[in-house]
């Protein structure tokens, strides 16, 4: 019988693996949030079919990696309105930036989390089978 796999930092913030997709040891990114800023943007472009207008909502997070040799200093979180699947998390190692996408309906919950007691963290795990887990969490928070 083999030894139990060694747990990773912040394992306690992971929900159960309902689909048994998180089997191998992932590449983990873990950032403690130092600051964040919100950007509401609009872009208008002239194209061959006329002018197109696009709006976006982004949360930009800065912090420090909690893992030895961790290549993560910032996180870009884009909010997407409407149904459909979201793009997967992406890690740009050269820029030391993680990009995440969440439904627009998560915005209030996320800003509430960040305005509450900290510390606050961003975690991403990239598994060999293509499964990607990404979260933003607080805690542990002591309750009086």
The residue extents of the domains of the chain are 26-138
SS3 93: coil
Provide the whole-model pTM.
0.85
**Extended beta strands in 1-144, E state:** 27-47, 50-65, 74-80, 90-92, 97-103, 120-126, 132-138
Each residue's pLDDT tens digit, 5-50: 568 899 999 999 999 998 899 999 999 999 999 999 998 888 777 7
Give the Cα separation of 66 and 86 in Å (integer).
27
Which residue from 7, 6, 4, 30 is spatially nearest to 133, judged by alpha carbons? 30
pLDDT (mean) for 76-87: 91
């Amino acid at each position: 019988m083999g030894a139990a796999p060694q747990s990773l930092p912040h394992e306690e913030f992971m929900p159960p693996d309902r689909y048994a997709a998180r089997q191998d040891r992932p590449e983990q990114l873990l950032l403690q949030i130092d600051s964040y800023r919100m950007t509401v943007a609009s872009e208008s472009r002239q194209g061959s079919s006329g002018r197109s207008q696009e709006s976006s909502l982004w949360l930009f997070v800065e912090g420090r990696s909690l893992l030895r040799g961790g290549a993560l200093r910032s996180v870009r979180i884009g909010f997407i309105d409407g149904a459909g699947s979201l793009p997967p998390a992406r890690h740009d190692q050269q820029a030391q930036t993680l990009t995440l996408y969440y439904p627009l309906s998560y915005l209030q919950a996320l800003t509430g989390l960040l305005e509450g007691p900290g510390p606050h963290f961003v975690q991403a795990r990239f598994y060999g089978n293509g499964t990607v887990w990404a979260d933003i969490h607080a805690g542990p928070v002591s309750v009086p």
